[in-house]
Amino acid sequence: MRRVVLSGLLLAAFVAAWAWLASLQSVDDLTLASPGEVVQAFEDDWSLLWDNAWVTLTEVLLGLAIAVVAGVVFAVGMHLSRALRDAAYPLLVGSQAIPIVVLAPIFVLAFDYGIGPKLAIVALICFFPITVNLLDGLRAVEPELLKLMRSLGASRLRTLRSVELPAALPYLFSGLKIAAAVSVIGAVFGEWAGADEGLGRLVLLGNNQLQTPRVYAGIVILTVMAVALFALTALAERVACPWNRKERAA
């Protein structure tokens, strides 16, 4: 409750500062729309914003889903096979060094205008934090515990299922939270490189057509989307790993 009040107060202060800045004569209306104008844009363009927001949300969610599957497969594979880990780790890091801005148009060339390149870009930037965090979690299990499982006669896969994966679950969620926060940026990049719908495209178009309030309305929706995804992930973590919360509190 206290957290809600405090962050609400900070948000209100931010909006007030925004309104004050927008009211200054020296600030160009094309650069900064006032909060009032943005609310007006929400009223005027509601169905346009809504339809495009759905498109972007779909890209984000599907891209995240691909990233989770790929991330879990990569992390478990690299955990089980030392050779695979040694071989794949540099490539994994390298995949994050590629500038997405440059890659996006190439993806569009390769996959056409549809949803494909957007999913590829969202998945590419989201699978990295998921893989790295989950791999760390799998490797953080105490050696004594693995010894115990071995002495109990457990197979490698049994140990993975009963001990390592549950122990690594909080790490997976840490990776997911980071992925959720950056996933929206990935979708926007994908749409900028070439799309005929989506919030990213709407914002870019609005910018070119000098519809500043609509641009800001789009940004607000994108931000809310990222925050909501993050909050949902955090909530899922609390539900899925209740032991983790208790231990931290103790």
Is the CB of 99 or the CB of 153 nearer to another protein? 153
- Binding piece for another protein, criterion CB under 8 A, among 159-167, 185-193, 194-202, 215-223: 159-167
Question: CA nearest 56: which of 196, 235, 237, 174?
Answer: 196
Tokens of 188: 């926007």
What x-and-dash track marks residues 160-189 binding another protein by CB under 8 A?
--xx--xx----------------------
**Nearest residue (CB) to another protein, 219 versus 241:** 241
119-158 residues in contact with another protein (CB under 8 A) are: 142, 144-145, 147-154, 158
- Asked if 105 touches another protein (CB under 8 A), the answer is no
Q: Which of residues 210-249 bind another protein (CB under 8 A)?
A: 241, 243-244, 246-247
**Cβ 250 to another protein shortest distance, Å:** 6
Residue 230: name the closest of 162, 147, 129, 146 by CA. Answer: 129
The b-or-e profile of 109-140 (16+ CB within 10 A means b, else e) is eebeeebebbbbbbbbbbbbbbbbbbbbbbee
Instruction: Report H helices in 98-161.
Output: 100-111, 116-139, 143-151, 156-159
| Closest CB 153 distance from another protein, rounded Å | 5
The secondary structure of the chain in percent helix, strand, coil, rounded to multiples of 5, reads 85, 0, 15
Q: Give the nearest distance from C-beta 61 to another protein in angstroms.
A: 27
Interface residues toward another protein, by CB under 8 A: 142, 144-145, 147-154, 158-159, 162-163, 166-167, 241, 243-244, 246-247, 250
